Chains A and B, each alone.
Chain A
Amino acid sequence: MFASLRQWIDERFDWAALIAPLREKAVPTHSLSYWYFLGGITLFLFGIQVCTGILLLLYYRPSANEAFESVQYIMTRVQFGWLVRSIHSWAANLMIFTAFCHMFSVLFLGAYRKPREITWITGMLLLFLAMGFGFSGYLLPWNTLAFFATKVGTEITGQVPVVGHSLMVFLRGGEDVTGATLTRFFGFHVALLPGLTTLLLLGHIALVQYFGMSVPPGVEARRKAFPGEAREMKFFPNFFLRELMAWYIALGALGALAAILPWELGAKADPFAPAPAGIRPEWYFMFMFQTLKKIPAKLWFADGEVVGILVFGLAGLVWLLLPFFDQAAGKRGRKLILGAGIFALSYIVAMTIYGYMSK
């Protein structure tokens, strides 16, 4: 049966030529090959988000009056609704985690170097989009924690000099967080961000296929010295089968999390109630939030919070353009980037832990 289908396609498309690059695609194997899995896992988790997201769309209602009740409905009345919703919430966090790991592994293994600068840029933009997905999606259940976290988060955006207020009003759909904010975030979450992500993702993956898998500098040097030792693995079927194993492990983890640690529903947001104690954002924003909390109110002549926001903005920009610093100052460029990477990773981890330990 597959043979006649093959023939039908062959009569219309040059199937063999189409899939030739995939057949030939090879993945270098060395001691650090395992890090190659991270990109694929992130992509897989994104796929899960799209599927569970579409399923949730069948029952979710994006208005302040009904959002909370519709999520409650999904959790209690819809068959396996609890599973779809919990997987969606857990996979979101897992995806952002693997995206960060993927970014740091690319940094430390030097996969951003020439000629892969644009790949890095598309990847960083995808990371920002992922965090945008997280921020917008978090509000959608319209519970107390989400409402106040969004309030604080958009408030911080409002502190950006010059454009901050307009930006905040744009995000909130008004001066305050209201039902209009919910509708707007819903639009971002299911239309705008997915559209942008799809485009960037296609570009990112195409670039990865085009340039092939990068090899870390150390391994590269060794291969130059001892060419006979270089090894590689075909993508199809060998690497892919291993990737499939990783995906199934991720599925198992998601199922276990959904069944044993289901995602909380909380209480419906009441805009007129005072903010409960201990409002904090999701963990992937925690390091920024904790930093802003700890910055003194006044730094020389400037407002502490504004300085913090500007520093993070600058850091983001530098990170986006990281590959271009690689060749700057000769050999030192790479060392600088490695140093910056170690600093950033330690800082993020430390501030995240600090944020959760303090009250």
Chain B
Amino acid sequence: MDTCLNNSLSRLLIGFLAMATVGLSAVRAQAPSTCLDCHGALDPPLQVTPAQFAQDIHSQKGLTCANCHGGDPTKADMDAMSKAAGFRGKIERKQIPELCGHCHSDGAFMRKYNPSLRTDQLAQYKTSVHGKRLAQGDSKVAVCIDCHGVHDLRPANDLRSKVSPLNVAQTCSRCHSDAKYMQGYGIATDQYAKYSASVHHDAMTVRGDLSAPTCSTCHGNHGAAPPGTDSVKNVCATCHVFQALMYDKSTHKVAFQSIGLPGCVVCHSNHDVTHPTDAKLGTGPEAVCMRCHKPGDVCDQARAEMLADLKQLDGAVRAADSTLATAESSGMEVSEARIEQDQARDSLTKARVAIHSFQTPLVEQDIEAGLKIAAKTQTEARAALAERDRRRRGLGLSLGIIIMVLLGLRLYIRQIEGNSGKVNTAI
């Protein structure tokens, strides 16, 4: 207290100067606020530095501490925190959603800042597991600031934001992977670990594909809740359209629904969605069909047929690839054949998608198309090798002629010079 009072004047000056410079470097000018004069110098958890607050989107739009915390930002020192001016101090967790919603659910208000921003976040939140539990008095659940941050809140399209697609999974895992924190809720805490091993996570972090699914893609963000068992398939279907279409027409849909199993997840799991291989159709540890089906029954036979078909096409594509590689390494130009090979690989992908119809004839359609293309490229590759052999024979012929000339020259030289040293005359 005393320290604050004693240094208030100098702090005011320094603070003003600091604010002026920070204001120049901030994206938009901040409204003057005396709160940061003191709170910038305090220790956490009371610390909010001007540099930190300058990153906040609210501050950049001209809002001050008082807009959420109340009080009078123009007054110096403790007068700023006057109850008369509406100072609320630290907001209770239970009240945070309503506080944020006070502005963010007000369409007319938000129109003044960003007309295209949604204003239903609070309504959605109330339907979520977090929102429902908060209403019942559980303040451990996530509220707005847990995911979005506070005082240095960035918009979702800022890649540094905690809710940017790149960071969402980590933000969720702060609670959901903490076994101690999640004690008592009765849900798993290995989702993030499993997701990190998935092909979706890979797409996001390795390929940088921001459209790849993260937690909020399937669970929703404000209305976060696990999809019901009958709607999981719909969620996957937003991207994996064809697989869903085929599955819908298949026998599995009805069968799974009748015993209350979710689609997709049964074979592909939900969080650790790894890259599917043909081994899923096999009989080994990765096999999914044989978890339910009996060896020898009709389905097992269909499975075996489809697997055999896939193996056949895969083998044909590989064989053509290897012949093409040989031709290429001997210097033959095979770029056209390589482009056609891409189409053969496309057929293989389509056949693997067709598996989800669980009907062998549909799979075999794509297999046949692919085999035709692979056969064609194999022929072209062999033709390239034959051309290479022709060139080598031509080379052999011309080398033979050259050797003949060399021999002739040698003998001719000997002849005109005799075998003694007639060539070297004395100077």
Contact = CB atoms under 8 A, between A and B. Distances in A.
Instruction: Tell me, yes or no, whether A and B come into direct contact in the complex with CB atoms closer than 8 A.
Output: yes
Interface of A: 26, 28-29, 72, 75-76, 82-83, 86, 223, 227-228, 230-234, 237-238, 241-242, 244-245, 248-249, 251-252, 255-256, 258-265
Given A241-B412, A255-B395, A232 B333 contact: no
Contacts of B406: 245, 248-249
B395 A233 contact: no
Contact of B416 (A237, A251, A252): A237
A75 B391 CA distance: 13
A24 to B, nearest CB: 12
Interface stretch (B18-26, B269-277, B344-352, B417-425): B417-425
B41 interface: no
Given A231-B427, A232-B425, A259 B405 contact: no
B369 to A, nearest CB: 27
A258 B388 CA distance: 11
Contacts of B14: none
Contacts of A238: 413, 416-417, 423
A309 to B, nearest CB: 37
Interface string B247-265: 0000000000000000000
Contact of A256 (B331, B399, B421): B399
Contact of A230 (B391, B416, B427): B427
A234 to B, nearest CB: 8
Interface in B390-417: 391-392, 394-395, 398-399, 402-403, 405-406, 409-410, 412-413, 416-417
Contacts of B395: 255-256, 258-260
Given A232-B424, A232-B427, A245 B333 contact: no
B210 to A, nearest CB: 20
A255 B423 contact: no
Given A256-B399, A259-B395, A228 B426 contact: yes
A233 B427 CA distance: 9
A231 B425 contact: yes
24 contacts: A29-B424, A75-B333, A82-B391, A228-B426, A231-B427, A232-B425, A233-B425, A234-B423, A238-B413, A238-B416, A241-B412, A245-B409, A248-B406, A249-B402, A249-B406, A251-B402, A255-B395, A255-B398, A256-B395, A256-B399, A259-B391, A260-B331, A260-B395, A262-B331
A262 B409 CA distance: 29
In this complex, the interface size class of chain B, counting residues with CB under 8 Å from chain A, is 20 to 34
B426 A230 contact: yes
Nearest to B402: A252
Contacts of A249: 402, 406
A233 B423 contact: yes
B395 to A, nearest CB: 4
Contacts, number: 77
A82 B387 CA distance: 12
Contacts of A228: 426
B27 to A, nearest CB: 30
CB-based closest 8 A-B pairs: A262-B331, A231-B424, A259-B395, A252-B402, A230-B427, A76-B333, A259-B391, A245-B409
Interface residues of chain B: helix, strand, loop or mixed (majority): helix
A7 to B, nearest CB: 26
Nearest to A29: B424
Nearest to A259: B395
Contacts of B333: 72, 75-76, 82, 265
A112 to B, nearest CB: 22
A232 B416 CA distance: 16
B331 to A, nearest CB: 3
Contacts of B403: 252
B60 to A, nearest CB: 34
B331 A255 contact: no
A263 B330 CA distance: 10
Nearest to A228: B426
A262 to B, nearest CB: 3
Interface string B118-157: 0000000000000000000000000000000000000000
Contacts of B335: 72
Contacts of A251: 402
A29 B421 CA distance: 11
A238 B427 CA distance: 16
Contact of B394 (A29, A72, A242, A259): A259
A249 B391 CA distance: 19
B426 A261 contact: no
A295 to B, nearest CB: 36
Contacts of A241: 409, 412-413
B327 to A, nearest CB: 11
Contacts of B331: 82, 86, 260-264
A353 B403 CA distance: 33
Contacts of B391: 82-83, 259
Interface in B38-54: none
Nearest to B335: A72
A233 B422 CA distance: 9
Given A242-B413, A255-B399, A248 B405 contact: yes
Contacts of A261: 331
Interface string B313-348: 000000000000000001101010000000000000
Given A259-B391, A259-B394, A260-B392, A248 B409 contact: yes
A205 B405 CA distance: 27
A243 to B, nearest CB: 10
A36 to B, nearest CB: 14
Contacts of A262: 330-331
Contacts of B409: 241-242, 244-245, 248
Contacts of B424: 29, 231-233
Nearest to B413: A241
